[in-house]
Amino acid sequence: MNEKGKSRIVQYLDERIRIRSLMSFLLDEPMPGGANWAYVFGSMVLFTLILQFLTGIMLAFYYGGTPDHAWDSVNYIDHLTYGGMNVGRLIRGLHYWGASMMVVLVGVHLLQVFLWGAYKKPREIMWLVGVVLLALTMTAAFTGYLLPWDERAYWGTIVGTNMIGLIPMIGPILKSAIRGGIGLGALTLSHFFTIHTMVLPSIFILFVVFHMVIFRRIGPAGPFSGNSLDLEARKEFFYPRQILMDAIGMLAVFLVIASLAILRPPGLESVANPSNASYSPTPAWYFDWIFQLLKMIRPEILGVVGLPVLIGFVLILLPFFDTRPERSPFRRPFAVFSALVVLGTIMGLSVEANRGFRQLVPLDPASYTRGKVVFEKSGCMGCHMVSGKGGRLGPDLSEEGLVGHPEDWLVTQFVKSTSHFPNSPMPSFSYLKPDQLHDLAQYISSLGRAGWPDPTK
């Protein structure tokens, strides 16, 4: 098409939708100090979100959202070929690794804004919207984890919803509402599919648009070096250099995701089997650190709820308490130190969680039966709840068997609980014989594991 033809099209569109004004709004954004690679992370996050939308729509065309069809449909997708190329597995791999990449990039972008102090006046609202987008990203990753309906997805979601159940007062209600009952089933899958494909995308679009509108209103933060005259002299518009930098950043992200999708496809374990009592459940990698806290801290609420809630409150209140002028990270040592401590703690807990993942304790029906008798005769129900019955002084043991504590750990807990938790009020059961302690450990290790009571019946 020649230039005259293009001009007529532009004029036609401009008369009807003011295309020139729209393009000017999108491309003529002033960038104080000029284009900068530091500005590419927001565009990279937006790219991964769009990639998730596109690949998610493609997968939804073939997905069957019921327990009797979900696994078969995902297996069909994994073997869907076009022109001799395994297109289905590639698209699913892009969606799978795109989710992980989005979690990483949202975290990196939020960390970048924190280190540069770009959450301060007048950007408080934009920061809060970013915190909401982080929460939405984690929720999307969590709800999508169950959809393949294989063993890994099923038991990982068991662990994840157990964590939600530990939230004070509303936890059990949320857990039951999310699952659609006591266990995972058709309602659970329907809830997760609806939230993942309908609710969250709508909320994502709303908050992303809100985030971008605020960004265009107040402009980018930084740079924090040079006087105003120097920054004005180096000012550039969004087009063309910043667009080129953003495009290179997005291309790099896509190449990483595509490489992982090809070299490390997500795979599919056997179909979810609620009666498989030997499967060792693990959460998605981004919840590994919370899973480790669940094993380390009692009461569980301190680890599973306390630290995440504390981090959330700090993120929300931060722009209203830290009102000093924006400055480079090199001039904010406390911010850098606190960020390193939080990141180091999360990474350390995640590594420890992966080291500690173990197969669940093998169970013996006869020992389980004897252990249940020991549990009841020792008065444990007076302090602990099991399947909605019992006391509330101690932690709910309804699904304690999924935590994966070995027998020696449990026996030590029965005999001297202060070895694990110095302030534990749990009485000693040292009067029990070794075989009784073994049987009691067997019973505790069975709680929450499918097929028990006695799987032989």
Would you tell me the crossing angle of helices 243-263 and 40-60 to the nearest 10 degrees? 40
The answer on pLDDT for 382 being more than 90 is no
**Tokens matching residue 88:** 């289905």
**Tokens matching residue 302:** 């301190």
Q: What is the pLDDT of residues 244-296, one digit of tens each?
A: 999 999 999 999 999 999 998 888 888 887 766 666 667 778 878 777 776 66
Q: Which residues contact 129 (CB under 8 A, 6 or more apart)?
A: 207, 210, 211, 214
Q: What per-residue confidence (pLDDT) applies to 456?
A: 41
Using DSSP's 3-state secondary structure scheme, residue 425 falls into coil
8 Å CB contact between 56 and 95: yes
The answer on pLDDT for 362 being more than 70 is yes
Which among 290, 264, 405, 425 has a CA at the least distance from the CA of 350?
290
Q: What per-residue confidence (pLDDT) applies to 457?
A: 41
Burial track 56-87 (b if 16+ CB lie within 10 A, e otherwise): bebbeeebbbebeebbebbeebbebeeeeebe
What is the Cα 133 distance to its own chain's centre? Answer: 12
Ranges of H-type helices in 167-237: 171-179, 186-194, 200-218, 228-233
Average pLDDT over residues 76-100: 90
Cα separation of 326 and 388, whole Å? 52
Which among 440, 451, 388, 453 has a CA at the least distance from the CA of 414?
440
Q: What percent of the chain has pLDDT over 90?
A: 26
Range in 13-27, 78-92, 188-202 with the lowest mean pLDDT: 13-27
The answer on pLDDT for 98 being more than 90 is yes
Burial track 99-127 (b if 16+ CB lie within 10 A, e otherwise): bbbbbbbbbebbebbbebbbbbeebeebb
CA distance to 75, 156, 257, 262, per residue, from 89 (Å) = 9, 22, 13, 8
Higher confidence at residue 390 or residue 52?
Answer: 52
Higher confidence at residue 188 or residue 302?
Answer: 188
Number of H helices, E strands in the chain: 19, 4
8 Å CB contact between 353 and 364: no
Range in 53-67, 210-224, 420-434, 435-449 with the lowest mean pLDDT: 210-224
Strands 389-390, 236-237: pairing is unpaired
Average pLDDT over residues 14-32: 74
Higher confidence at residue 378 or residue 236?
Answer: 378
- Phi and psi (nearest 5°) for 447? -65, 125
Cα angle 334, 337, 339 (rounded to 5 degrees) comes to 110
The answer on pLDDT for 355 being more than 80 is no
Strands 385-386, 389-390: pairing is antiparallel
- Phi and psi (nearest 5°) for 150? -100, 180
The answer on pLDDT for 1 being more than 60 is no
The count of C-alpha atoms lying within 13 angstroms of the C-alpha of 358, restricted to the half-sphere facing its C-beta, is: 14
Range in 41-45, 58-62, 122-126, 191-195 with the lowest mean pLDDT: 122-126
Average pLDDT over residues 33-56: 89
**Rounded mean pLDDT of the chain?**
82
Cα separation of 257 and 104, whole Å? 12
The answer on pLDDT for 299 being more than 60 is no
Q: What per-residue confidence (pLDDT) applies to 236?
A: 77
Residue 237 gets which letter from DSSP?
E
Tell me which range, 113-122, 248-257, 448-457, is most confidently predicted by mean pLDDT. Answer: 248-257
H or E stretch covering 199: none
Q: What per-residue confidence (pLDDT) applies to 291?
A: 73
pLDDT class for 37, splitting at 50, 70, 90?
A: confident
Q: What is the pLDDT of residues 135-145, one digit of tens each?
A: 999 999 989 99
Q: What is the pLDDT of residues 205-250, one digit of tens each?
A: 999 999 988 888 887 776 655 555 555 556 677 778 888 999 999 9
**Is residue 333 reached through a cis peptide bond, with omega within 30 degrees of 0 on the bond before it?**
no
Q: Which residues contact 160 (CB under 8 A, 6 or more apart)?
A: 142, 145, 283, 284, 287
Higher confidence at residue 57 or residue 28?
Answer: 57
Average pLDDT over residues 433-452: 83
Q: What is this structure's pTM?
A: 0.74
Q: What per-residue confidence (pLDDT) applies to 319?
A: 86
Domains of the chain, first to last: 1-31 (no CATH), 33-356 (1.20.810.10), 365-446 (1.10.760.10)
Higher confidence at residue 136 or residue 368?
Answer: 136
